[in-house]
């Protein structure tokens, strides 16, 4: 049976911190009835630093970065058109350049889903389809409503599709299971949403599919199937055992020790459920490592998240963080105190987000 975080207080001994797994001996998720922390902190930051709202709005640089990365991937696909799929050369290029580029495009689509490339929501929808091209599989139109629901329903069981299911936690609760999850996590993120709930298909979904299929067929016609397989392999490796893929796990899995304060039912401080990373890989990933900052202010684009951190440093500096995404993957696999079940879940709250919602309404005032 799920238990609240306060109920785990009995697992403390002599007031000493216990690990996440020790505080949760039944290997259940961390169940809480507290509100997700980002709205509360956002309001506190705006009260203390009202100037942060001026950081919100589209970043014109995004479209140029995306265009350059798309062009680079098309070049590599053309260059490798005669290289067979089993070639070490193709796999090496796909891992070093292709996976890095496609992870960049995954996160470009993430950025664009918040309407942060253009002022027009429609322009953002179509530009996300363009960013989707080297990924090989149409997904940008579906990603947006699921991702915005992740923001509006952080940790809500049955709504937040970023959460692993109980079945995943049961089946993958081992070193081998966690290794399998990290290797094939791109498929978990693709399939899980459809297993949790399905969003209605819209015109933009149809455009996404038609444009992507047309691009794939044109690429194969003018180059070869090897070029298309290079793009698919790049997408797979981008969500596998790749340093940049560490952000998927680092963002919301609970790695830190659970302190007595966090388990005190009279002190309404929940277990941290979002973690930032401030290292150099942010240069390749639209600063997605600044994840507490992003969840607090989804309408602040990637180029201004460091400024948000500096303005509200007293709020962010004390929070637990990751120093390395590669180490986050390593520890996730090998540390018994970290696992699929180390996520904060709540039964109620949140809502499903669908349709076109302007960022000023949905993300500043939320």
* pLDDT tens string 207-225: 999 999 999 999 999 999 9
Q: What is the pLDDT of residue 366?
A: 35
| CA–CA distance, 289 with 65 (Å, rounded to integer) | 18
Q: What is the pLDDT of residue 257?
A: 56
Which of these, 18, 10, 24, 39, lies nearest to 296 by C-alpha position? 39
Domain ranges of the chain: 30-365
Outline where DSSP puts E strands in the chain. 30-31, 276-277, 321-322, 344-345
Largest Cα span, the chain = 69
**Phi–psi pair at 176, nearest 5 degrees:** -65, -40
| CA–CA distance, 237 with 19 (Å, rounded to integer) | 31
Q: What is the pLDDT of residue 36?
A: 87
Q: What is the pLDDT of residue 33?
A: 81
- Going from the C-alpha of 172 to that of each of 79, 146, 176, 312, the distances in angstroms are 39, 24, 7, 38
Please state, for a pLDDT cut of 90, what percent of the chain lies above it. Answer: 75
Q: What is the pLDDT of residue 283?
A: 98
Q: What is the pLDDT of residue 34?
A: 82
| Bridge partner residues of 277 (DSSP) | 322
Q: What is the pLDDT of residue 82?
A: 96
Helix axes 140-152 and 121-132, enclosed angle (nearest 10) = 120
**Phi–psi pair at 156, nearest 5 degrees:** -80, 120
- Give the DSSP per-residue string, 159-176: T-TTSPPHHHHHHT-SHH
Residues of the chain with pLDDT under 50: 1-26, 258-269, 355-366
| CA–CA distance, 216 with 135 (Å, rounded to integer) | 10
Q: Give this prediction's pTM.
A: 0.87
């Amino acid at each position: 049976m799920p238990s609240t975080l306060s109920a785990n207080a009995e697992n403390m001994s002599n007031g000493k911190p216990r690990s996440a797994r020790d505080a949760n001996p039944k290997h259940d998720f961390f169940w809480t009835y507290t509100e997700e922390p980002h709205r509360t902190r956002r309001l506190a930051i705006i009260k203390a630093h009202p100037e942060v709202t001026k950081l919100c709005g589209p970043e014109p640089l995004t479209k140029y970065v995306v265009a350059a990365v798309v062009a680079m991937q098309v070049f590599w696909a053309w260059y490798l058109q005669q290289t067979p799929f089993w070639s070490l050369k193709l796999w090496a290029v796909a891992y070093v350049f292709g996976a890095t580029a496609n992870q960049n495009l995954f996160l470009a689509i993430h950025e664009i889903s918040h309407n942060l490339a253009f002022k027009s929501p429609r322009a953002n929808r179509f530009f996300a389809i363009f960013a989707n091209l080297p990924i090989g599989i149409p997904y940008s139109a579906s990603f947006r409503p699921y991702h915005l629901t992740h923001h509006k329903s952080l940790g809500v069981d049955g709504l937040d599709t970023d959460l692993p299911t109980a079945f995943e936690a049961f089946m993958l609760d081992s070193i081998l299971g966690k290794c399998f999850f990290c290797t094939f996590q791109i498929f978990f993120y693709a399939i899980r949403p459809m297993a949790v709930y399905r969003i209605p298909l819209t015109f933009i979904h149809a455009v996404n599919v038609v444009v992507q299929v047309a691009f794939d067929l044109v690429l194969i016609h003018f180059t070869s199937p090897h070029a298309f397989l290079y793009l698919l392999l790049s997408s797979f490796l981008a969500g596998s055992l790749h340093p940049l893929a560490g952000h998927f796990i680092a963002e919301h899995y609970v790695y830190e020790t659970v302190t007595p304060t966090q388990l005190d039912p009279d002190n309404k401080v929940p277990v941290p459920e979002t973690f930032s990373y401030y290292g150099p890989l942010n240069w390749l990933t639209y600063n997605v490592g600044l994840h507490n900052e992003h969840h607090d202010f989804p309408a602040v684009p990637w180029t201004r998240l460091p400024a948000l951190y500096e303005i509200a440093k007293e709020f962010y500096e004390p929070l637990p963080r990751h120093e390395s995404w590669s180490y986050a993957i390593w520890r996730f696999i090998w540390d018994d105190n970290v696992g699929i079940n180390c996520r904060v879940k709540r039964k109620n709250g949140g809502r499903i987000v669908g349709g076109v919602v302007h960022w000023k309404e949905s993300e500043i005032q939320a």
